[in-house]
Amino acid sequence: SRDKMYTQMSLYLGINLMNLVLNLAMLYVLVDIFDVWYILAQVITSVILAFESFFLYGWLFDKPLTQSQ
């Protein structure tokens, strides 16, 4: 149904906004606090957020929008 589609779209956008904030926070911590080279810090952050997104999307969106029988 459309309501479920809008709910999933809202969750998807919320997760992406959360990942944007996490990306910024993790880069700040790695570069400014732990003195990691900024490109290496981005690689580390990208890998962590890729795994986080994969499992979070799988957990939230593993069911189809409609139940066809």
Q: Is the dihedral of CA 21, 22, 28, 29 positive or negative?
A: positive
Name which residue leads in pLDDT, 26 or 67.
26
The answer on pLDDT for 66 being more than 80 is no
Residue 1 three-state SS: coil
Q: Global pTM?
A: 0.82
What is the amino acid identity at position 34?
Answer: F
* Residue-wise pLDDT tens digits, 30-43: 999 999 999 999 99
> Which candidate, 58, 50, 45, places its Cα nearest to that of 16?
50
Q: Is residue 69 very low, low, confident or very high in pLDDT (cuts 50, 70, 90)?
A: very low
